[in-house]
Amino acid sequence: MANAEITPVGLGELDLLVDLFRQVFRPGRERAFFERRFRGRYNPLLLLAQVDRKPAGFAIGYELKPGTFYCWLVGVLAPYRRSGIAAQLMEAMTAWVRDNGYHIIRFECYNSQRPMLHLAIRQGYDIVGLRLDPDTGTNLIIMECDLGDTADDESSDDI
């Protein structure tokens, strides 16, 4: 497991995050795409993961509505995948979200992104719905984690 340094960064580091996005996701996007997404958003959070001072991944989110934070993107560069960096990014985001008074974290994920779905379930997220992505014509799975829910889900092992 890689021990990444997770650091909140400002919009001044957006070019770096856009570059990381292009290395992780297709199709690539331009800086203007991100700027439009942030326009009018409250409390944007940009996290950078580094291993040995080299960028390894990122997470981006913002307030969706009062009390609910939206985890928009999580990406890890190919050489660093399966080393726990996505989990570290999600844990850092969860800590920041909790510290800033939010009660729910939501994100959406394609069914084909199984590693992210498995990570979310391990971290206590629940599937709360589906939505059609008009750009791809496929369904997105909507997942939420209630940060106030302290129930121990491990008791359901005998299902």
Per-residue pLDDT of the chain (159 residues; tens, 9 = 90+): 779 999 999 989 999 999 999 999 988 899 999 999 999 999 999 999 999 999 999 999 999 999 999 999 999 999 999 999 999 999 999 999 999 999 999 999 998 899 999 999 999 999 999 999 998 899 999 999 999 864 444 444 444
In this prediction, residue 149 carries a pLDDT of 67
The helix, strand and coil proportions of the chain, stated in percent and rounded to the nearest 5, come to 35, 35, 30
AA letter at 101: G
Quote the crossing angle between the two packed helices 85-99 and 114-122, to the nearest 10°.
50
List the chain domain ranges.
Answer: 5-156
CATH class, range 5-156: alpha beta
Q: 87 Cβ partners below 8 Å, 6+ apart?
A: 119, 122, 123
